[in-house]
Structures are given as C-alpha cells and as structure tokens.
Structure 1
Amino acid sequence: MTDIATITPNPAIDLSTAVDRIVPVAKLRGRTQRRDPGGGGINVARVIRRLGGDARAIYPVGGAIGILLRQLLDSEGVTSHTWRIAAETRENFFVDEIGAGKQYRFILPGPRLGETEWQECLKLVAAIEPFPRFLVASGSLPDGVPDDFYARVARIAKPRGAKLILDTSGPALAAATAEGVDLIKPNLREMRELSGSEPSDAYEWETAARELVERKKAAVVALTMGHLGAALVTREAILRAPPIPITPRSAVGAGDSFLGALVWRLAGGAAIADAFRLAVAAGAAALIHPGTELCRPDEVARLADQVTIETV
C-alpha cells in the first residue's frame, strides 16, 4: 500500500542550461541541457522515491509536454495518477551564468484549467483506495482553479483520517489554513503573507509560526528561513536548526527536498525531531547542485550528521 500521495495541480518540465555570460542580443550557447519533471508535489514524490520510499503523484497532463512529463517520471520509478487537460503542460527555464555565479529562473504561467478539469482532480483524490495516510498538496494553482482548491482537498482528507501536508502560497495557503491542515511548510515570504507580520529575527519568526498553531491553522509549521536555518513548530515545542555551512549553487528544489524527506520519515514512524533533521539535510543537499537537481541520498546521509537541533 502507498502511504503517501502528492497532488500537483500545475506541474512542469524544468529545462536548465549554463552559459558563460548573459548579454543582450547575442546568441548564448548553453554548455549543458537537462530536463527534469517539476512542480511541488511531483518533486516531493521524486525525493521520497530516491530515499527509498513510495509515493503516488497525482497531476494533470496536457499535450506533448504532458506526455514527456509522464515519461520522465516513469523513468524514475514514480507512480503517476493523471488526468487529461486541453492545454499544454508548462515548461520552466533555468540558466546558470557561470562567470557571475548567478542563476536566473523563468517560471512560466502554464495552462488555464476549466472547471471540469480541476474538478476531475478532486474526484481522483476522493476515489483513491486505499486512501493514503499522508496527502501532500504542493505548488501553485493554475489559472481557472479557485483559491479554496486546497481547502477542498482538506475536506476530502479529514474524514478519511489522512494527514494533509501543504506547501503553497498566497490566497491558496490562506484558504487552506482557514480550513485547518496538519502541516504547512512556508518560507519567510509565505510566512509574512500568512501571518501579516514583519518578524526581524528567528525568534520572532518562530513566534509567528507558534501563533498559527495556537489558532489551529496548522498542527505543525515547518518554517524554512534561508540564512537563519529552519524551525519546526508544534503546540508542544519549537525546534530550531541553524544552517549547515555549505556553498549554495542553486535554490531550485531545496524546499521540495526538505518536505519530501520530512514526509518520508514521518510516514515511516520516525520521531518528529529525527524527521526534521533529515529534512534540513535534504534541503541543504539540493542547494549544493547547479540547475534543477534535487537532493541525492548519499549527500543527505552525510549532511544529516552536521545538522544541530536546538529546542527553543
């Protein structure tokens, strides 16, 4: 039985390359070319698969890009549960400028979904048998999908006894937390939008997360804070992990790697502090690679030994 299913309403194929310099007008010849399946829930499922687990990925497919997306996931051994949409699945584009050590990220808008198309996703989720213990809803919502889409997913998950894990932003995040979810994974920008506050240090960020827990917006807040590290906040405790001393090369996939490792360990019955430790290591492991690479298991294991967990 698959204990974990992920939902990605707005998947993509991530195309990445590297050039010496970025200048206008001139033809910029890429040194590399890489295509990866993309989108929050899809990346979470890929990380879980890499770490030795199993997760069913639920996502729409449209046109030739959608077919390629399914093929790429099949090649990684990720189980897909898809439905067809009329418009083409989107692509994103990432360029590393080698000379300047900078990365440019072009996120394309993607297709617009009609009501019958996004309703089909809810029908697929409701029909899962046996229902997963963990349901991970992650990523942006396509045009045409209502802001309360993830809140509707929460209303499907609750009666089935599943834990809903959410990683999104803006109105979609606000609507879902108004319904109440089991775990959210905001970054600092998303946390600022959700809390309506302007924290200035790690303690204030953690306090804002604790207020969300106390207001029953989420049972757990896993807050990624960039240079401040990460925090995991429950009603019982606040755990803080300072950043691991690494040299970041790309931010693509770090949050998804963090969440994938966290959910994988929780689904395996690990204590929440142990799951948090592996999540921090997985996020850091994604940061050290250029382009669109996710974390690698050997590097996650190595970096986990460097993670320090503090009880605040």
Structure 2
Amino acid sequence: MKSFDIVTLTVNPALDKSTHFKGLVPEQKIRCESPRYDAGGGGINVSKAISRLGGESLCVFTSGGATGEMLEKLIEKESIEYKTIATQNWTRESFVAVDDNTNAQYRFGFSGDSISDAEKETVFKTIMDLKPKYLVLSGSLNEGLSTDFYKMIIDTVKSFETKIIVDTSGEALQKALETGVYLVKPNVGELAKLIGVEKLEMEEVEAAAKKLIEKGSAEIVVVSLGPQGAVLVTKDQTEFVAAPNVVKRSTVGAGDSMVGAMTWALSQNKSLKEVVQWGVACGSAATMNEGTQLFKAEDAKRLFEWLGKK
C-alpha cells in the first residue's frame, strides 16, 4: 500500500439515510420519499471533504455486516482510498428526515455496537504501521469503548511526530487533550467545559483558547462559532473569519467538512489565515445541501474566494 500524508480514523462510522416527508402526525404511518444513502462518521466525512478539494487521504474505519458492506461501496463511489477493520457487530445507521411542510429537520442517531479487544488491537496496529504525517481522530466512540481510546492512540503515535487533529466531544475529547494534540476544533460550549466554566461570551473565546494552548492541550485551537464563523488561535496568532450568509438547508456534516478542509489546507502548507478560511468556506457550503451530502466543491471554492476579498 502506498503511503499517505493524511490518515483519518473512524471507529464508529454510520450508514447515513435521509429522506423527505409531508407532515409529522403521531400514531399515523408517515409516507417518506425514497431514501438517499451516504457514508457517514467523522473521519469518513473528513476524507470525503479532502477528496472534494482535490486532496488524498487514507480513510480507516471499522466495518461490519450488510450495513458495513454498503458503507464500503459508497466510499468506493467517492474514489477514496480506504482500509477497513472488520468487526463482528454490524455498522450502525443514522437517519435524517425533513418535513417539507415546515422545513424542520429531524435527526436520529444510534450508538454503535461494541468492538472486541482483538478489533481494538487491530485499530492500534493499523495506525502504528501507517505512521502518517497527519492523523485525524474524528467522531464518536462505540458503546462500551473506553473514553481514553483516542488518548491511547495519541500516546502511541507521538513518537512518530504525527500531527494529531481531533474532533470529538465529552470525556473522550478531554482525555485526548491530556496528552496534547496539534489541532482541536471545539465549539463554544465544548471550549467552556474544557476550561472548567459554565459558559463563555464571544469576547472571552480567544482567552479561553489560549488557556488550552498554555496547558499544552493543543498547538492550534479552532473554535467553531456556528453562524458567526470561526476563530483560529495559536500561542501568538489569532484569525477570525466571519461565516458568509448562505441559505441553510442542513447542518449535518458541516463540522466534519470544516475539519477536512483545514486538514487539507495544512497539508498544502497554506497560511493559518487560509486554513481557517477554507474551513469556514467548506463548513458553510455543507449547510447549503440537504440531508447528509456534505459540500459541493464549486460552492466551497466560490465562498473561499469571497472570504479572501473580505
């Protein structure tokens, strides 16, 4: 297998299913349109984003049962290089439904079944053998998987000088930052929890991000500000990028699109200002599409060019 500068890891992928219906009525059968299927899960979406920008990555993910087989076929259609770690339990599904009468979006997620000790060891061995320049750890953890799973991977690859980019939540995120990573992308609420406060006002975000950097939790902190955009913070640089005004159809995959774009930009030696601009452009472009489709390359490039003129 050829070497890749970027490897994404998804231990809890999902077969994403999305549809439309007209009117949500309790206890009545809801007639839905034919579903659309997409390969989902944090790292998988990151690899899809990188591919749409013309980059390459190796997408590593667990796969089990008929849903896992369908997931693999969907990734093949995207022309993304991948490596699977076979699991006895089936890959989970997620479901997004849009009510055309109200344009309200309903998102249903299922927790992933547990993976065995042998399967966990295969995950570790696979990442150790690859020794990538950038490793993206993105998405939730399977049911029963220790919250320090990502931390253990980070500890394992530290000696390879791999740059770790992490995008997860809760205790798994807190544990991952104990070792220290290259880049982390929390939202404002997650950042507040990471520094031990109840909430943060917008004017407090930069100082809070610098606290993480001073603790050695990350070299780069990119805080997602939702419709306001994002701010990138390092020890001696801060770059705020306001989000462009677009017609929002779905927020599914916007964060993953942002991480994928920033990872690609870093691998292309873009400036940090351009890194966060690409992140905001692709995250915003993803909201322009329905369901679980991520972004279209032409939308992302147009928004990036617009941001560059601001």
TM-score normalised over the length of structure 1: 0.95
The equivalences for 1:138-153 within 5 A come to 138-153=138-153
The whole-number CA distance in structure 1 between the counterparts of 2:208 and 2:222 is 12
Q: Tell me, which stretches of 5 or more residues in structure 2 are unaligned?
A: none
- In structure 1, what residue type is equivalent to 2:24? I
- In structure 1, what residue type is equivalent to 2:231? A
The whole-number CA distance in structure 2 between the counterparts of 1:207 and 1:289 is 34
Corresponding residue for residue 154 of structure 1: 154
Corresponding residue for residue 290 of structure 1: 290
Q: Name the SS for the 2:257 alignment partner.
A: helix
Q: Deviations over 1:257-292 (max 9, x none)?
A: 001011001101111111111110000000111111
Q: Deviations over 1:190-210 (max 9, x none)?
A: 223222223443221222111
The equivalences for 1:115-134 within 5 A come to 115-128=117-130, 131-134=131-134
Is the 8 Å Cα contact of residues 228 and 243 (structure 1) preserved in structure 2?
yes
Which of 8, 19, 28 aligns to 1:6? It is 8
The whole-number CA distance in structure 2 between the counterparts of 1:189 and 1:70 is 34
Q: Deviations over 1:154-179 (max 9, x none)?
A: 12222111100000011111111011
Corresponding residue for residue 187 of structure 1: 187
Is the 8 Å Cα contact of residues 277 and 304 (structure 1) preserved in structure 2?
yes
Corresponding residue for residue 174 of structure 2: 174
The whole-number CA distance in structure 2 between the counterparts of 1:113 and 1:193 is 28
Is the 8 Å Cα contact of residues 240 and 309 (structure 1) preserved in structure 2?
no
Aligned residues: 308
- In structure 2, what residue type is equivalent to 1:18? H
Q: Which moved more, 1:189-198 or 1:174-183?
A: 189-198
Q: Which moved more, 1:5-14 or 1:108-117?
A: 108-117
Cα drift, residue 230 of structure 1: 0.7
The whole-number CA distance in structure 2 between the counterparts of 1:70 and 1:189 is 34
Q: For the structure 1 residues 309 and 203, does the alpha-carbon distance in structure 2 shift closer, same or farther, using more than 3 Å as the test?
A: farther
Q: Name the SS for the 1:165 alignment partner.
A: strand
Coordinate RMSD, CA, aligned: 1.5
- In structure 2, what residue type is equivalent to 1:118? K
Corresponding residue for residue 219 of structure 2: 219
Kindly report structure 1 stretches of 4+ aligned residues shifted beyond 3 Å. none
1:51 aligned onto 2:53: yes
Is the 8 Å Cα contact of residues 9 and 61 (structure 2) preserved in structure 1?
yes
Cα drift, residue 308 of structure 1: 6.4
Is the 8 Å Cα contact of residues 277 and 309 (structure 1) preserved in structure 2?
no
The whole-number CA distance in structure 2 between the counterparts of 1:125 and 1:243 is 35
Q: Name the SS for the 1:306 alignment partner.
A: helix
The whole-number CA distance in structure 1 between the counterparts of 2:141 and 2:121 is 13
Q: For the structure 1 residues 256 and 114, does the alpha-carbon distance in structure 2 shift closer, same or farther, using more than 3 Å as the test?
A: same
The whole-number CA distance in structure 2 between the counterparts of 1:197 and 1:103 is 31
Q: Name the SS for the 1:274 alignment partner.
A: helix
- In structure 2, what residue type is equivalent to 1:171? E
Q: Which moved more, 1:149-158 or 1:25-34?
A: 25-34
Q: For the structure 1 residues 217 and 200, does the alpha-carbon distance in structure 2 shift closer, same or farther, using more than 3 Å as the test?
A: closer
Is the 8 Å Cα contact of residues 10 and 138 (structure 2) preserved in structure 1?
yes
Q: Deviations over 1:221-274 (max 9, x none)?
A: 111111332111100111111221122111100000001011001101111111
Corresponding residue for residue 106 of structure 1: 108
1:73 aligned onto 2:42: no
Q: Name the SS for the 2:60 alignment partner.
A: strand
Is the 8 Å Cα contact of residues 94 and 103 (structure 1) preserved in structure 2?
yes
1:27 aligned onto 2:29: yes
